A and B are shown apart, each in its own frame.
Chain A
Amino acid sequence: MGLPGKHWQEPDGWHIDVRGLVSPEPMVAILGRIETVDQDGTITVHHDREPIYLYPELAERGWQHRIVDSDAGEVRLILTRQP
């Protein structure tokens, strides 16, 4: 299954842009990408809202999130594995 949203790689890891997607597609895109990332990898999520329902699913998979500065109209999250 192709993941929804735009996915690309940069030196700091995977980036996913899920802006404009409707529920539950952002969650599907992010959790689907997590499955493909190696142990030290990070994922940067470009979202248009805080994905509050994503957090329990991230924790269940041993991932954590932090929200960082972003452009207006964007909520940007950095996802990393829990130490």
Chain B
Amino acid sequence: MLGGSFLGDARDRLLPAAIPFRFFAAAAVFYVLAWAVLLAASDLPDFTGGLGPVLAAIHLLTLGVLAMVAMGASFQLLPVATRQPLARTWPASLCFWLLSGGTVLLAFGMAEGASLAMNSGAISVTIALLIFATLTADNLRRARGLPVVAAHGWVALIALLGVVGLGLALSFDFQHGFLADHQAMALLHMLLALFGFMGVLALGFSLILVPMFALSQTPPPRLGGLQLALAFLALIFVTGAVLSGIAWLFWPGIAAAMAATGIYLWQMQHVLKSGMRKRLGLSFRLIRTSWVTLPIAWLLGLVILLDLPFPNAPVGFGFVVLVGWLLTFLLGVLQRIIPFLASMHIVDENGQPVLMSDLTPELPLQVHAGLHGVAVLLCLAGIFLQSGVLVQIGAAAGLTGALAYAGFVISVSLRVFNATGSKSANG
């Protein structure tokens, strides 16, 4: 007997290509926009929060790129990993429109100090993230196997609830001023977004994706569990520190976070060392670079806690975490999964699947990787030397690299849209 129901299940888990690729193409556009806005703004080294182009650029990256890719990738990869299809696909499409439209409005409102646009954008983004959380929670609830990865997903979703609640309150607080301590809530919003939501999601997905790319066995679940427990503990301590104002609570928080990072990096190192695939390509140069920036972030965190006389350590810390770690990691992963997913949807003139390697143009990706590295270094130098000009030169490099990356993402996405469009047109 042919395992008909099993085959049907498998196809159900593969979303229509337009859904994930819409998210990926939009993320590439927001990536370009984020660098463009940062190029126009020269005040990143002086950033202490508040409305303006820097805050807009940050949200173009966090919502437009990180959350956008996290959604697109989760909607596509999670059902395959958990062996449970998404309950419905239309909410995923709705998420896309709400998140992309909301991010444009929010970023415009932040850059221009336009409350109506900012609050409308915040509401739209909040709804998108809540729909995403509901769909993901429903999928995780039905997950078979992978308990450690699913547990990472649950912690990320809990953090996401805090992020969206605080984000919405902060947006309206700019106009109405009802929060007792806007800056503290902004700090908590940032910590939960970067470490709680995106960070834990990155740690969890790494446990599946890195072994898959390196063709290695997955790390022992107890290590993944310990990594998550420490990350969760760190989140509880820093949340307690911000809410209570008890500064020493940051210390156990950063200690737990450093321990979680150590376990994570050890596992990743072990996976790569024991993997059958040794030549991992350009995408892994980005992923490895992102891992190098994590200990640097914690060093800067210690500098901040010890109140050492290091110029602009808080801005440097935020930049290293957001751009050095999360963005670099995610760009590396995206660069690897886009050709992988696209090759399942595109066939050549002989009806054969197009190879992943034919969908991975070397030159634009090499240009991007090089310029991304230059951009991170120059922007960091600009932050520490308090030079707006250096940041702008870095942003110009970042923008040029982002254009090369967007060219890759959009060209592959268009091939997918054309292939799947013509398939539907042909019935």
List the B side residues contacting A57 at CB < 8 Å: 356
Given A22-B145, A23-B146, A24-B208, A56:B340 Cβ within 8 A: yes
Is residue A60 contacting chain B, with contact meaning CB distance below 8 A? yes
The answer to whether the Cβ of A78 comes within 8 Å of any Cβ in the partner chain is no
Q: Does the CB pair B208–A1 fall under 8 Å?
A: no
Residues of B within 8 A of A60 (CB): 343, 355-357
Contacts A1-B274, A1-B276, A72-B3 given; indicate if A28 touches B343 (C-beta within 8 A).
Answer: no
B145: A residues at CB distance < 8 A: 22-23
Give the Cβ gap from A55 to chain B, nearest Cβ, in Å.
Answer: 6
Q: Which residues of A contact B274 (CB under 8 A)?
A: 1
Q: Does B366 sit at the interface, judged by CB under 8 A?
A: no
Per-position 1/0 for A21-39, Cβ under 8 A of B: 0111101100110010000
Least CB distance from B192 to A in Å reads 28
In the complex, what residues of B have CB within 8 A of residue A67's CB? Answer: 2-3, 7
Partner of B10, one of A31, A49, A73: A49
Q: Is the CB of B80 within 8 A of A22?
A: no
CA A11 – CA B1 in complex, angstroms?
Answer: 22
A12 within 8 A of B: no
With contacts A53-B80, A59-B353 known, is A75 near B215, CB below 8 A? no
Query: Which of A35, A56, A73 is the most central at the interface, judged by chain B CB atoms within 10 Å of its CB?
Result: A56
Q: Is B83 an interface residue (CB 8 A)?
A: yes
A23–B212 touching, CB < 8 Å: yes
Check if B217 sits within 8 Å of A74, measured CB to CB: no
State how many angstroms separate the Cβ of B332 from the closest Cβ of chain A. Answer: 17
B: interface residue count bin: 20 to 34
Which one of A23, A25, A56, A76 contacts B343 once the chains associate, using CB atoms below 8 Å? A56
B135 to chain A, nearest CB (A): 19
Nearest-neighbor residue (CB-CB) of B358 within chain A: A60
* Among candidates B146, B275, B344, residue contacting A22 with C-beta atoms closer than 8 Å: B146
Q: A27 — nearest CB in chain B belongs to which residue? A: B212
Closest-by-CB residue of B relative to A51 is B10
Give per-residue flags for B353-388: 1 if the beta carbon is below 8 A from chain A beta carbons, else 0: 101110000000000000000000000000000000
> Which listed residue (A50, A56, A69) contacts B6, Cβ 8 A?
A50
* A1–B217 touching, CB < 8 Å: yes
Considering the chains assembled together, what is the distance between the CA atoms of A50 and B13 in angstroms?
A: 10
Query: Which of B218, B276, B344, B356 sits near A25, CB closer than 8 Å?
Result: B218
In the assembled complex, the Cα of A60 lies from the Cα of B360 at a distance in Å of 12
Contact status of A52 and B10, CB under 8 A, knowing A23-B146, A24-B211, A70-B1: yes
Q: How far is the CA of A70 from the CA of B81 in the complex (A)?
A: 23
Chain B positions within 8 Å of A50 at CB level:
3, 6-7, 9-11
- Considering the complex, give the chain A residue whose CB is closest to the CB of B13: A52
Total residues of chain A contacting the partner, CB 8 A: 32
Whether B1 pairs with A31 at a CB distance below 8 angstroms is no
Contact of B2 with A70 in the complex, beta carbons under 8 Å = yes
B146 shortest CB reach to chain A, Å? 5
User: Of B1, B7, B81, B339, which contacts A72 at CB under 8 A?
Assistant: B1
Interface check B424, CB cutoff 8 A: no
Task: Tell whether, in the assembled complex, residue B3 and residue A52 are in contact, meaning their CB atoms are under 8 Å apart.
Answer: no
Cα A1 to Cα B3 with chains together (Å): 31
Report the Cα distance A40→B81, complex, angstroms: 32
- Smallest Cβ distance from B349 to chain A, in angstroms? 15
A10 lies within 8 A of chain B by Cβ: no
CA distance A72 to B1 in the complex (A): 6
> Which residues in B have their C-beta under 8 angstroms from that of A70?
1-3
- Does A23 contact B81, Cβ atoms closer than 8 Å? yes
The A-contacting residues of B in range 204-240, CB under 8 angstroms, are: 208, 211-212, 215-218
14 residue pairs from A and B, CB less than 8 Å apart: A23-B81, A25-B218, A28-B211, A35-B276, A50-B3, A50-B10, A52-B344, A53-B80, A53-B212, A59-B352, A69-B2, A70-B3, A74-B6, A75-B10
User: 10 smallest A-B Cβ distances: which pairs?
Assistant: A50-B10, A24-B212, A22-B145, A56-B343, A75-B3, A23-B81, A59-B353, A75-B6, A50-B7, A1-B274
